[in-house]
Amino acid sequence: MAEEKNAKSSEEKKSSSNLKLIIIGATLVILVPIAGFFIASKFIVSSNEEEVNQEKVEDVGTIVPMPVLVVNVANTNGGRYLRAGVSFEVTDSGTASEIEKRNPQILDTLIMILTNKDIEDLVELTGKKQIRTEIKEKVNANLIAGKIKNVYFTEFVIQ
Last residue of a domain, one of 58, 82, 97: 58
Tens-digit pLDDT string for the chain (159 aa): 555 555 555 566 666 777 777 888 777 778 777 777 777 777 676 656 666 656 555 678 889 999 999 999 998 888 899 999 999 999 888 899 999 999 999 999 999 999 999 999 899 999 999 999 999 999 999 899 889 999 999 999 998
122 contact partners, CB below 8 Å, separation of at least 6: 73, 82, 128, 131, 156, 158
One-letter amino acid at 4 equals: E
Q: Annotate the chain with three-state secondary structure.
A: CHHHHHHHHHHHHHHHHHHHHHHHHHHHHHHHHHHHHHHHHHHHHHHHHHHHHHHHHCCCCEEEECCCEEEECCCCCCCCEEEEEEEEEECCHHHHHHHHHCHHHHHHHHHHHHHCCCHHHHHCHHHHHHHHHHHHHHHHHHCCCCCEEEEEEEEEEEC
Same domain, 106 and 135: yes
Same domain, 24 and 84: no
pLDDT of 41 reads 73
Same domain, 99 and 141: yes
One-letter amino acid at 64 equals: V
Same domain, 27 and 90: no
pLDDT of 109 reads 95
Same domain, 66 and 142: yes
Q: Within 13 Å, how many C-alpha atoms sit on residue 63's CB side?
A: 10
Range of the domain at 84: 62-158
Same domain, 136 and 69: yes
Note the pTM of the prediction, 2 decimals: 0.62
pLDDT of 134 reads 96
Same domain, 111 and 84: yes
Q: Within 13 Å, how many C-alpha atoms sit on residue 16's CB side?
A: 6
Last residue of a domain, one of 43, 58, 73: 58
d(Cα 130, Cα 50) in Å, to the nearest integer?
27
Same domain, 105 and 146: yes
